[in-house]
């Protein structure tokens, strides 16, 4: 009688889906989506979840199982840690059965994604977990492509940041020079536009809403744009802080 | 007898190839590479040119024609403008024959690529040129994936910059906080490492050389790394300026 052979644990893939267009998924992500039996998606909000699923749907196999991991909506570090362990448990269960699992995320898994939290929580529960991160097209790269906005040339610096909460925060970003990308714009857009007008940068600002998704809007003249308060969460502001420097 | 119908001009595609791994090309770039009859590649240096061609080779059609555009090696604005017009002329010739053309570039076409210069020069010669930019995985995203380096979380800012020339330049980048990515590291690596050691940030620094390419190296402890002067051009430094802030 033989011992039951130990099952090698599965691999957790952190898969970036890119900005929204299913064709802007990488060949590697498409291949993994087609073969992975279990895909986890963060249920941060219903909009992002349904977008991630609809992008992945162009690539997944027939027998894929989707799981939703609940994103903890608190800033208390202890509650967060517990919540992430709870979210990681079903992922760990799949890996321990020897199956691979994918965690899908809009954009890139290392930039403003919940994947880094999930990865840490999985490692806490399963220290020898194998993890592979599949990088992706960042959403601001799609916004830059649509507006022909040069993100960096020669010695120019690029700053990527969540939209600031205060005018002082905006001033600090502007002071850094180069090119500035502000993500997660959402309902604060009218306020951000006011600050950019006050600092004299509105003419060098582009706005892209839902790049590559249905309802995409590209706004190159924000001074003439109404209904700024109706722009959704998936919006990006691109500001050239040193116009006229290019060749 | 009929007039000869006018030929609609072709479309110029600026195609990002991503960081190096042919599987990290997007589905869209792969589709375009397979069908485009003419591909232009910048001959900035032989290394980048041959890498770009070898990535594209996994995707191109049988009858593709490769053209090399010579990158002007000067900072004189007038010489530069003339050189880019010269580089753009064969692209314009293809477009005027009604054929589409692709310009391939490592990484993303809008971040430290020569595509923006070529695009402007093509538009000067052919003002009604149609241009479509295909965004791509940025090389630093691949470096972050390999080192599990979180580029942004919550309110963290990400700064992307060419490696600075002076210690003052490095200090200014460090003062911005958040996460810092320095590209185009090359032969200045020993100097950069000295500055990072002096400012107390070496322990939070990762180095990735030739991410996704043959000869890839991932160095997570730069204090123990010798032969820093032999690291090549395609290297990226990733610095966490606020360690311990994460969950």
Q: With cut-offs at 50, 70 and 90, classify the pLDDT of residue A247.
A: very low
Nearest Cα to Cα of residue B58 among B92, B84, B25 = B25
CB contact under 8 A, A145 and B131: no
Q: How far apart are the first and last CA of chain A?
A: 77
Judge whether A161 is closer than 8 Å to chain B, CB to CB.
Answer: yes
Q: Are B77 and B103 in contact (CB under 8 A)?
A: no
Judge whether A107 is closer than 8 Å to chain B, CB to CB.
Answer: no
Candidates A25, A85, A130, A138: best to mutate against B (most CBs of B within 10 A) is: A138
Count the residues in chain A.
247
Please list every residue in chain B whose beta carbon sits closer than 8 Å to the beta carbon of residue A176. 159, 176
- Round to whole Å and give the CA distance between B163 and B183: 6
When comparing pLDDT for A224 and A176, which is higher? A176
- Out of A30, A108, A151, closest to residue B110 by CB: A151
Judge whether B208 is closer than 8 Å to chain A, CB to CB.
Answer: no
Q: How far apart are the CA of B19 and the nearest CA of chain A, in angstroms?
A: 10
- Out of B23, B117, B145, closest to residue A247 by CB: B117
Judge whether B11 is closer than 8 Å to chain A, CB to CB.
Answer: no
- Per-residue HEC secondary structure of A102-161 comes to EEEECECCCECCCHHHHHHHHHHHCCCCEEEEECCCCHHHHHHHHHCCCCECCCCCEEEE
Please list every residue in chain A whose beta carbon sits closer than 8 Å to the beta carbon of residue B180. none
CA distances from B178 to B9, B96, B144, B238, B245 (A): 46, 47, 14, 11, 10
pLDDT at residue B144 above 70? yes
Q: Are B41 and B52 in contact (CB under 8 A)?
A: yes
Average pLDDT on B114-143 reads: 95
Q: With cut-offs at 50, 70 and 90, classify the pLDDT of residue B4.
A: low
CB contact under 8 A, A149 and B176: no
Judge whether B162 is closer than 8 Å to chain A, CB to CB.
Answer: yes
CB contact under 8 A, A134 and B145: yes
Judge whether B186 is closer than 8 Å to chain A, CB to CB.
Answer: no
Q: How far apart are the CA of B138 and the nearest CA of chain A, in angstroms?
A: 7
When comparing pLDDT for B37 and B234, which is higher? B37
pLDDT digits (tens, 9 = 90+) for A21-36: 999 999 999 999 999 9
CB contact under 8 A, B148 and A137: no
Q: pTM for the whole thing?
A: 0.93
pLDDT digits (tens, 9 = 90+) for A54-99: 899 999 988 899 998 877 667 787 888 888 889 999 999 999 999 9
Please give the ipTM for the structure prediction.
Answer: 0.93
């Amino acid at each position: 009688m033989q011992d039951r052979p130990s099952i090698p644990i599965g691999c957790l893939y952190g898969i970036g889906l890119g900005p929204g267009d299913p064709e802007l998924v990488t060949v590697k992500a498409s291949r993994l989506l087609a073969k992975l039996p279990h895909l986890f998606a963060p249920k941060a909000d219903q909009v992002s979840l349904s977008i991630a699923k609809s992008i992945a749907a162009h690539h997944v196999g027939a027998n894929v199982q989707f799981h939703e991991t609940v994103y903890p909506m608190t800033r208390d570090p202890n509650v967060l840690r517990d919540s992430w362990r709870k979210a990681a448990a079903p992922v760990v269960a799949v890996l321990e059965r020897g199956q691979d699992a994918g965690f899908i995320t809009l954009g890139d898994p290392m930039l403003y994604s919940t994947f880094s939290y999930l990865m840490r929580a999985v490692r806490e529960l399963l220290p020898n977990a194998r993890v592979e991160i599949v990088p992706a097209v960042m959403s601001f790269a799609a916004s830059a492509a649509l507006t022909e906005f040069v993100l960096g040339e020669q010695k120019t610096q690029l700053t990527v940041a969540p939209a600031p909460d205060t005018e002082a925060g905006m001033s600090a970003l502007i002071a850094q020079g180069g090119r500035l990308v502000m993500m997660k714009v959402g309902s604060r857009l009218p306020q951000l536009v006011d600050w950019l007008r006050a600092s004299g940068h509105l003419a060098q600002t582009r706005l892209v809403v839902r790049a590559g998704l249905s309802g995409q809007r590209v706004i190159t003249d924000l001074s003439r744009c109404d209904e700024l308060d109706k722009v959704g969460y998936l919006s990006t502001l691109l500001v050239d802080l040193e116009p006229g420097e290019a060749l």
